[in-house]
Copies of this chain bind each other. A is one copy, B any other.
């Protein structure tokens, strides 16, 4: 069975020079994939030509006359650039012509356009961004929300947990993935009011067997791999993700500096090349590229803006896998099952206080 993925070829810092070689490489490795390259057709064709791939039976080009830049405010992406490659790529998902879309465009614009074009799933109040981080168990830790929602109420975090659980279950083949609620301590009494009320909702789900709630986790549990999923609001998630990325760059820079300092350390680096490479692979963000925009009526994956072709290919792979494993259908089913728990907006309850 063929799975069609639409690619926003113009998105990201590098545009076609990254997205197209990534698309070609992915096509070659995945015989079930069919890709629709969306963008300025001359640019797309020129890049294809460079790679001697003018025609490919599982590749098509769809022209889009505009480009959402990395600096474009959401307003511009949403209201002015109606024929942007980003928007057209998402519309293909809406129209059922692609099963998922990949873009390296700016996150705010991508989320806004996706919400506008695809709409939010029934039962979901707010879509969330879910990404993966490496952990000491050599597996991925899925974390959400990473920045779509800076002010969250308990029922939002509760929905993030449900969506994360479905995603991990489908993508990793884990039947009952464990959910951790990011907090300042593991004890039940710890945390702010929103987190405490969220834990209550998750414990109820756990008791009835619909979710596998581990309990509170702390910042270091992300890398310990204590749980498959770490749930937090978008403010905390975004700050934490950027902080660890910042530390990662700092570490890499310092290691490079120290090993280049003297002839002896350079020799050591040469001899230890394999070790250093394996070490750096452990933390290689490329392997973890491809964040999911969860809770929309269609699959959208976001690549890092600065991704190279290798890294971008991972984002395509993740979009492909999500389509292949029916993440969207599973999400709908699970949200529907747990739907009655969404608070009635007419009845002010604890979650609205």
Residues of A whose CB lies within 8 Å of any CB of B are 134-136, 147, 150-151, 182-184, 190-193, 195, 218-224, 232, 234-236, 238-251, 253-255, 258-259, 261-262, 264-265, 267-276, 278-279, 282-283
Contacts and interface: CB of A to CB of B under 8 A. Distances in A.
| Copies of this protein, total | 2
B242 A220 contact: yes
Contact of A235 (B184, B220, B259, B275): B184
Given A268-B271, A268-B275, 5 more contacts: A219-B238, A220-B242, A220-B246, A223-B246, A243-B243
Contacts of A259: 272, 275
A37 to B, nearest CB: 30
21 contacts: A135-B250, A150-B184, A184-B234, A184-B235, A184-B238, A195-B235, A218-B238, A218-B242, A219-B240, A219-B244, A221-B246, A243-B243, A244-B244, A247-B247, A254-B279, A258-B278, A259-B272, A259-B275, A264-B271, A267-B271, A268-B273
A186 to B, nearest CB: 11
Contact of A251 (B218, B243, B270, B283): B283
B253 A136 contact: yes
Contacts of A278: 258, 261
Contacts of A193: 151
Q: Return the 4 tightest CB-CB contacts between A and B, nearest first.
A: A268-B272, A219-B242, A220-B246, A219-B243
A144 to B, nearest CB: 14
A289 to B, nearest CB: 17
A118 B255 CA distance: 44
A254 to B, nearest CB: 5
A245 B220 CA distance: 7
Nearest to A194: B151
Contact of A268 (B221, B232, B268): B268
Contacts of A254: 279, 282-283
A182 B235 CA distance: 10
A251 B136 CA distance: 9
A150 B239 contact: no
